[in-house]
Amino acid sequence: MGAEQIRRWESGALAHAVSDPFGQGPLPWLRGSENYFDDTGHVVPWYADLARSTGGGTRTADDVHRQIKGFVSPGAAAPGEAIDFHITVDPPQQFSVDVYRIGHYGGDGAAKITTSPRLSGIVQPPPLAADRTVSCHHWWMSWRLQIPSYWSVGAYVAVLTTADGYRSHIPFTVRHDHPADLLLLLPDITWQAYNLYPEDGRTGASLYHAWDERGRLLGEEDAAVTISFDRPYAGAGLPLHVGHAYDFIRWAERYGYDLAYADARDLHAGRVDPSRYRGLVFPGHDEYWTLPMRRAAERARDSGTSLVFLSANTMYWQVGLAPSASGEPDRLLTCRKRRGPGKSALWREVDRAEQQLLGIQYAGRVPDPRPLVVRNAEHWLWDSTGAVEGDEIPGLVAGEADRYFPRTSLPEHDNRILLAHSPYEDSEGATRHQETSLYQAPSGALVFASGTFAWSPALDRPGHTDPRIQRATANLLDRICKRD
């Protein structure tokens, strides 16, 4: 690949992602001692490429050279079950896998749980591509992690490191079916929708982008219709939107909330029973939903389980899941969007608008962060926050925003309130409004929708935390969990 094509690759989705602090970009998830230093002695974030380093420091693997890249199957498993790692190493050499669990851990953000033995790495075959669908299902298994019975449920990150110092990451989830106050649902379907692996200026494709023969990044009309879970995540190996979930997890575990964990495909497949929990928490950007996911959420609400949506643009596209070529379930994700025969894949255009579950729905992008303007400050959600009517919380309307659509029907409710009404300018300079919603279903369940990307970052992201949002979120969860 020539230098010009490499520059195009470097200016693609991941380069944009790293500069976006609200959910588009990967974030430093580990805050402990494992910082990296460049050749001037300055600390740099884990996702930075230290190719210029003269000290032999750890460097992030990339999708062009594939120094070390991998994925797991399945993406979530229970104690006593196994996670299979499929990893390519180029050039072939030994590597190790350090497994971390995301949590508060005294502010470190994660704790190392185990380390693999030294493993022999091989160069796996190139990814297969057909009609923009990229898959590595033909890669050999490199390591099997048998999850011990004593491991805590949670969000985990496997850190892959070669003998010569290249590093990549793989997220996975440890779940169980025991009752808990709150079930945290990690949005792995949406994570995969944005995955451009391999981001090599040639092969990779997501539901948003693909490349042409000249290495130019193309838009949605030329993107993939079907994508595979059998492939690594692009770049450093973590999803573009993973930061939202990790922000919430660190905060919630710090304050002792009783959490269970699962991913969106678990909800889709019926592997979790929402009735075992007082509330379901959707902590991050959760844009792509299957019909079984929506039915499960609606049944949960109607039976008294509360729903908490901490981002915006939730449940926008309807998608389908199918087995891989080998028959493993839910490994292919399809969303035709507005292309091809049949109805649109937008929920609101198939007479199932998001607002009928959330209470608000997606309104558009927010080019520049704006304040969230408090509304109905006398409501219990704002208790002990110090917020008064009209207060502005800086930077809390960011990324994307939701609002109430008066011409769209609302869910059945006993009471309903809007807790923020915040003006912002869209990309064309027109004034729009973001809103935050809360309603109580006839079952007694509460349904909260923040209506902004920046809510979870305000809980535990350096430079973005806000004590009013932390207190308001605690008020909401404490009521759901029936804490005094």
Residue with tokens 């579950």: 357
Per-residue CA distances from 82 to 155, 329, 474 (Å): 15, 16, 35
DSSP conformational letter for 192:
H
Residue position matching structure tokens 């169980």: 176
pLDDT value of position 15: 39
Domain 273-316+354-481 falls in which CATH fold? Answer: Rossmann fold (3.40.50)
Above 50 in pLDDT, residue 461? yes
State both tokens at 460: 């535990």
Each domain of the chain, given as residue ranges in start order, spans 3-228, 273-316+354-481
Res 9 pLDDT > 90 = no
Highest mean pLDDT among 18-22, 165-169, 471-475, 480-484: 471-475
Chain segment 108-138, per-residue pLDDT in tens:
889 999 999 999 999 999 999 999 999 999 9
398/20: higher pLDDT: 398
Mean pLDDT value of segment 177-199: 95
Q: What is the pLDDT of residue 52?
A: 34
Contact status, residue 363 vs residue 432, Cβ threshold 8 Å: yes
Q: Contact 278/259 with Cβ under 8 angstroms? A: no
Contacts by 6-10, CB closer than 8 A, 24 or more apart: 6/64, 6/201, 8/201, 8/215, 8/216, 8/217, 9/64, 9/199, 9/200, 9/201, 9/215
Residues forming beta bridges with residue 183, ordered by sequence position: 260, 280
Query: Do 121 and 87 meet the contact criterion of CB atoms below 8 Å apart?
Result: yes
Q: Which pLDDT value is given to residue 77?
A: 97
- 66-91 pLDDT, tens per residue? 999 999 999 999 999 999 999 999 99
- Domain 3-228 maps to which CATH number in 2.60.40.1930, 3.40.50.1370, 3.50.40.10, 3.40.1190.20? 2.60.40.1930
Q: pLDDT digits over 34-61, tens only?
A: 444 444 444 444 333 344 333 445 688 8
Lowest mean pLDDT among 233-242, 270-279, 283-292, 442-451: 233-242
Specify the pairing of strand 431-440 against strand 415-425. antiparallel
Question: What is the pTM assigned to this prediction?
Answer: 0.91
pLDDT of residue 108: 86
- 16 pLDDT higher than 80: no
Mean pLDDT of 350-369: 95
pLDDT, tens only, 252-302: 999 999 999 999 999 999 999 999 999 999 999 999 999 999 999 999 999
Using CA atoms, how far residue 324 sits from 20, 73, 331, in Å, is 33, 11, 5
Closest by CA to 369, choosing from 15, 16, 22, is: 22
Q: What is the mean pLDDT of residues 17-25?
A: 46
Give the 3-state secondary structure of residue 189.
Answer: helix
- In the prediction, which pLDDT does 29 show? 62
Q: Which has the minimum average pLDDT: 293-297, 302-306, 382-386, 462-466?
A: 462-466
Amino acid identity, position 354: E
Q: Please name every residue paired with 135 in a beta bridge, in sequence order, or none if there are none.
A: 128
